[in-house]
Amino acid sequence: MTETKQKILDTAERLFGIRGIAATSLRHIIAEAGVNLAAIHYHYGSKEELLDEVVMRKAGPVNEARLRSWTGMRRKPGSGPLAVEKVLEAFLAPVFSERIAVRSS
């Protein structure tokens, strides 16, 4: 990822978190990131595509961890039906562990 693209993404994530998505304009993002409007359109196309990238940056690792947990549970032969608690744990635990990892960094 280019430095400009990373700077835009980091700035958008921060401003979306502080101001909210609706209250954050592309102009706010370019001013804070120190880039021009053409850079956002070149790298992301629109505010919606930029938002999608911000969401995927956070959701991707969580979904990968969910898939690893789920795959690990399904591979145990002869264990019978999965307990609802285990399914919920596979779905929810990565959200909390990723959130903690993100906040501590």
Residues 33-44 have pLDDT tens digits of 999 999 999 999
What is the structure's pLDDT at 68? Answer: 85
Which candidate, 13, 77, 73, places its Cα nearest to that of 47? Answer: 13
| pLDDT in the model for residue 35 | 95
pLDDT of amino acid 98: 53
Radius of gyration of the chain measured on its C-alpha atoms: 18
CATH number for region 3-104: 1.10.357.10
**Alpha carbon distance 7, 33 (integer Å):** 6
Low-confidence ranges of the chain (pLDDT < 50): 100-105
pLDDT at residue 102, rounded to an integer? 46
Tokens matching residue 77: 């032969």
pLDDT of residue 36: 93
| The predicted structure's pLDDT at residue 22 | 96
Domain boundaries, the chain: 3-104
Cβ burial, residue 51 (10 Å; 0-12/13-18/19+): middle
